[in-house]
Amino acid sequence: MRQLLVAREEVRREGEAAWQSFVKNVDSQCGGNMKEVVRVMATLDALLSLASVASRPGWVRPTFVGEEEEEEEEEGGEEEEEGREGGTPLRIDIKDARHPVLEHLLLSSSSSPSSSSSSSPPPSFVPNDISLGVGLDAPETCLVVTGPNMGGKSTYIRTVALCQLLGQIGCYLPASSASLPILKG
C-alpha cells in the first residue's frame, strides 16, 4: 500500500512538472504574453456568447430610457436626481419576460430523448409583465409579491433582476419588448 502511495505522489509531481514546462513553452511562443492572450480569448468568448443569445428567437434588444436626458445633462453640466423632476420617470418595463435559465432548462428537458417518448406536452413557462418605477418619487417602486408555495414568486423576482443585469451589460433579453433605465453605481 505504501509503495502505491509513493508511486502516486511521484506521478503527481511529474505531471505537475510536465504541466509547468508546457505552460512555459506556450508562454514563450506567445511572446511572454500568455495572460494577455487568455484575457483576450475570455473577452471574445463572452462576446460570442452574448451574440449567440441575441440571435435566439424571442430575445429582444432593450431600449434604455433616460439616454437622451443624460446626454443633455452632460452637455449642460447640471445633474438631476434619479426621480427626474419634470423629466421622464425612470421605469423598468418588460413585456412577456421569461427567466433565461429556467427557459433553457425547460427547453433542454423537453428535447431530451426520454421526454419525447412520453405523451405529455413539453413543460411550459408563463411569461410575466414587469412594470416598476425607479427612484423614491416614481410610482410603483415596490411590489408585494404573494402567492402559494411553489407558485413562482422567487422566479418572478429573479427574472426582474436577471433581465436588468443582462440589459446593463448589453445583452438581449428573453421578452417581447423591454425598456430599462441605465443604472449607475
Q: What is the pLDDT of residue 118?
A: 45
Q: Which domains does the chain have, with CATH numbers?
A: 60-181 (3.40.50.300)
DSSP H helical segments within the chain, as ranges? Answer: 2-29, 34-54, 67-76, 100-110, 113-116, 153-168
Q: What is the pLDDT of residue 148?
A: 83
Confidence of residue 176 (pLDDT cuts 50, 70, 90): very high
Per-range mean pLDDT, top range of 21-35, 49-63, 64-78, 121-135: 49-63
Q: Kindly state the average pLDDT of the residues 35-61.
A: 90
Is pTM, for the whole model, over 0.75? no
pLDDT tops 50 at residue 103: yes
**C-alpha distances out from residue 163 to 75, 105, 156, Å:** 30, 17, 11
